[in-house]
């Protein structure tokens, strides 16, 4: 009794090891929100966009300098020695120390005020640049996340198909040995089994590639996305009117906002160019302090303090037609910016409609594939029963098995496409935020 129980206890060890590895894998699995947060602090494209937004803010603040006063401090020291044929002046040495504080305040400079207004537009541009980058990152992480899940499902279904075909192959071999079937059934099953092996290798490689892409995006190794919790519930598109989504995109899409700001900047650039014809007026002031240790004529020390306040006026009369041509250039660039805005609005509207109808179509496809899954399962059960009673041949069962697992994989991929499609629709309309990942995260397996 002791000897016979020992092998059974030892045979449990591989099972316990496998269960432990499985629990460890579940403990290390990451949710969509977790991986997005990791990507937010790692992805180079997003980090570059953040730096660009910071630079845009700083550049906008620089434009304020043109309307603020400027103050400068200068200082100098000099020492002189002179030789002269007159004994009274020969060998004299004297020096001076001076310091000057100067300031200037623009009173009338239309060009500077246009530059300042452009800077304010740049400050308003930075948040939209960062928002566009964040929305892009949300979609990229979600797409990579569900690509891994889709590849995992494909590998799982291919392995299940291989197992089912292997069982059918063994059954065909037994039937051939007892003489109840021909060698054709065995050859058909063997061919399907070899095909399943090849498909398994391709699916395994595809999963490896998709996993590496997700790892690179989030900056982690061996990421394990959590699968969707069954049953998968997909909500309908809300609002259900495509025109509402398009109208929303016209006011909130960051691409449109950026081109609107670009048009405003182009208009201000025209104003700045036209200001080249206008006069400028500045308030200036200075205070100079000088300490002299004698001079060529005097031998004693003395100090001189000079304060001055004035107005500086400048009126351009002729600059070789450079101002006129600059105005022509900025007017053409203004027309270009206006055309860019029209193109952006049309592109965003088209993209929003495409995303909306694609999402609607995806939801309808999921329902159709769910019905197809039930139908192919019933067809497989009927073919198996028919094969057992002799009214169906082996190839019928193999075809039904292949159709079932192909439908399962397609259904899973369609569900993932719907979830990503919902994010893409919100991105196209300009309302996508990281909080929109929470409803999807709630549908993941705990």
pLDDT at 9 over 60: no
Please indicate whether residue 185 or residue 156 has the higher confidence score (pLDDT). Answer: 156
Q: What is the pLDDT of residue 82?
A: 67
| Global pTM value | 0.83
If residue 291 lies in a helix (H) or strand (E), which one and from where to where? strand 280-293
Cα dihedral 26, 32, 38, 43, rounded to 10, equals 130
pLDDT, the chain, mean: 88
Q: For residue 419, which of 437, 445, 446, 406 has the smallest C-alpha distance?
A: 437
Q: What is residue 91's predicted lDDT score, i.e. its pLDDT?
A: 60
pLDDT over threshold 70, residue 22: no
pLDDT computed for residue 90 by the predictor: 59
For Cα atoms 377, 382, 388, give the angle at the middle one, nearest 5 degrees: 130
**239 contacts 328 by C-beta, under 8 angstroms:** no
Phi, psi of 84 (to 5 degrees): -145, 150
Write out the DSSP string of 38-101. HHHTT-HHHHHHHHHHHHHHHHHHHGGGGGS-EEEEEEEEEEEEE--SSTTTTTEEEEEEEEEE
Gap between the Cα atoms of 136 and 357, Å rounded: 20
pLDDT tops 60 at residue 20: no
Please report how many Cα atoms fall inside a 13 Å half-sphere around the Cα of residue 65, on the Cβ side.
8
Rounded CA-CA distance 279/268 in Å is 18
Q: Where are any strands of DSSP class E within 205-279?
A: none
What pLDDT is attached to residue 92? Answer: 67
pLDDT-derived band at 13 (thresholds 50, 70, 90) equals: very low
Where do the structural domains in the chain lie, given as residue ranges? 30-68+109-278+322-441, 72-108+281-315
Closest of 203, 151, 149 to residue 30, by C-alpha:
149
206 pLDDT band, cuts 50/70/90, is very high
Q: What is the pLDDT of residue 296?
A: 59
Where does the pLDDT of residue 45 fall: very low under 50, low under 70, confident under 90, or very high at 90 and above? very high
Identify the pLDDT of residue 18.
Answer: 43
Cα angle 73-76-77, degrees, rounded to a multiple of 5: 155
What pLDDT, on a 0 to 100 scale, did the predictor assign at position 4?
43
Structure tokens at 346: 């049309």
pLDDT tens digits, 298-309 = 666 878 899 999
The secondary structure element, H or E, covering residue 303 is strand 301-314
- Rounded Cα gap, residues 133 and 131, in angstroms: 5
Q: Say if residue 165's pLDDT is above 70.
A: yes
- Per DSSP, the three-state class of 181 is coil
pLDDT digits (tens, 9 = 90+) for 349-405: 999 999 999 999 999 999 999 999 999 999 999 998 987 887 787 788 888 999 999
Give the percent of the chain with pLDDT over 70: 90
The predicted model gives 265-292 an average pLDDT of 93
Give, in degrees to the nearest 5, the angle at Cα 266 between 260 and 269: 145
Q: Write the pLDDT tens digit of every residue in 212-231.
A: 999 999 999 989 999 999 88
Q: Which pLDDT belongs to residue 84?
A: 62
Is residue 19's pLDDT more than 60? no
Residue 274 has pLDDT above 50, yes or no: yes
pLDDT band at 294 (very low <50, low <70, confident <90, very high): low
* pLDDT of 202 above 60: yes
pLDDT at res. 297: 61
> Does CATH place domain 30-68+109-278+322-441 in 1.20.1600.10?
yes
Give yes or no for residue 121 having a pLDDT over 90. yes
Residue 100's φ and ψ, nearest 5 degrees, are -130, 130
């Amino acid at each position: 009794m002791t000897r016979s129980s020992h092998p059974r206890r030892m045979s449990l060890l591989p099972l316990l090891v496998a269960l432990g590895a499985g629990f460890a894998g579940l403990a290390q699995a990451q949710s969509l929100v977790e991986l997005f947060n990791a990507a937010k602090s790692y992805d180079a494209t997003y980090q570059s966009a953040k730096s660009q937004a910071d630079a845009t803010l700083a550049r906008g603040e620089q434009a304020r300098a043109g309307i603020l006063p400027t103050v400068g401090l200068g200082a100098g020291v000099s020492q002189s020695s002179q030789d002269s044929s007159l004994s009274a002046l020969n060998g004299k040495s004297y020096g001076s120390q001076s310091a000057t504080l100067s300031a200037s305040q623009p009173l009338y400079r239309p060009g500077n005020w246009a530059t300042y207004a452009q800077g304010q537009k740049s400050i308003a541009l930075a948040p939209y640049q960062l928002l566009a980058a964040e929305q892009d990152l949300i979609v990229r992480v979600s797409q990579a996340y569900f690509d891994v899940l889709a590849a995992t499902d494909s590998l799982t279904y291919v392995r299940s198909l291989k197992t089912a075909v292997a069982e059918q192959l063994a059954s065909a071999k037994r039937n051939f040995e007892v003489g109840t079937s021909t060698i054709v059934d065995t050859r058909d099953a063997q061919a399907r089994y070899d095909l399943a092996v090849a498909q398994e290798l391709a699916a395994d490689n595809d999963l490896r590639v998709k996993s590496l892409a997700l790892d690179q995006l989030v900056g982690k190794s061996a990421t394990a996305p959590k699968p969707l919790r069954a049953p998968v519930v997909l909500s309908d598109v809300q609002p259900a009117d495509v025109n509402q989504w398009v109208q929303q995109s016209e006011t909130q899409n960051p691409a449109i906002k950026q081109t609107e700001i670009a048009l405003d900047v182009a208009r201000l650039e025209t104003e700045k160019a036209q200001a080249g014809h206008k006069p400028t007026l500045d308030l200036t002031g200075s205070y100079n302090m000088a300490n002299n240790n004698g001079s060529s004529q005097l031998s004693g020390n003395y100090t001189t303090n000079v304060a001055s306040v004035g107005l500086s006026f400048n009126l351009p009369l002729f600059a070789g037609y450079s101002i006129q041509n600059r105005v022509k250039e900025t007017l053409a660039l203004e027309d270009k910016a206006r055309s860019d805005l029209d193109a952006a609005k049309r592109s965003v509207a088209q993209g929003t409609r495409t995303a909306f109808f694609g999402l609607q179509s995806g939801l309808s496809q999921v329902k159709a594939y769910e019905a197809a899954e039930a139908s192919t399962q019933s067809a497989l059960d009927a073919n198996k029963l028919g094969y057992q009673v002799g009214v169906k041949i082996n190839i019928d069962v193999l075809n039904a098995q292949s159709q079932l697992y192909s439908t399962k994989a397609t259904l899973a991929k369609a569900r993932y496409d719907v979830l990503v499609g919902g994010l893409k629709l919100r991105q196209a309309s300009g309302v996508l935020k990281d909080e929109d990942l929470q409803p999807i995260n709630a549908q993941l397996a705990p």
